[in-house]
Amino acid sequence: MIKAVIEKLIKTEKRISKNKGDFNFFGILKNSKLEDSWDIIISADWFSETKQKDLIYIIEEIKKDLKNEDLRLFTKLFLMKPEEDLIKKLNILIETQHEMVEMIDAQMNEIKLGHIYIITSKKQPQLT
């Protein structure tokens, strides 16, 4: 069931990218504390400082593609800046855009990610 929902999220991610700009990261991570629940992690350069309007916009866009039963799979939605440590590490892990990349028992250094689906992950240019 989750793969069908991710296909819908890919559609959402593509539409938002076209309207607002590219994402640095868009993926879902299995919530280790709650069975059959997932967290959405999103990062983009175009997020405003407070992110409140961006959060409302993204939720409304997701609702266009997902049914209520699909939405129940998700417990949290995190909007993160590209310079945040987790996003930088995820971008190093894999580079992909508008696809479904599944990783099971994923781990980055000391961080255990568990089960993750990555839709978009773009490596950040190195600042000199």
pLDDT tens-digit map of 12-37: 999 999 999 999 999 999 887 777 88
Instruction: Say what the pLDDT of residue 111 is.
Output: 64
Q: Are 67 and 9 in contact (CB under 8 A)?
A: no
- pTM of the full predicted structure? 0.89
- Cα distance between residue 120 and residue 96, in whole Å: 5
The residue-averaged pLDDT of 49-55 equals 92
Q: Domain-by-domain residue ranges, the chain?
A: 2-121
Residue 68, classified by CB atoms within 10 Å of its CB into exposed (0-12), middle (13-18) or buried (19+), is: exposed
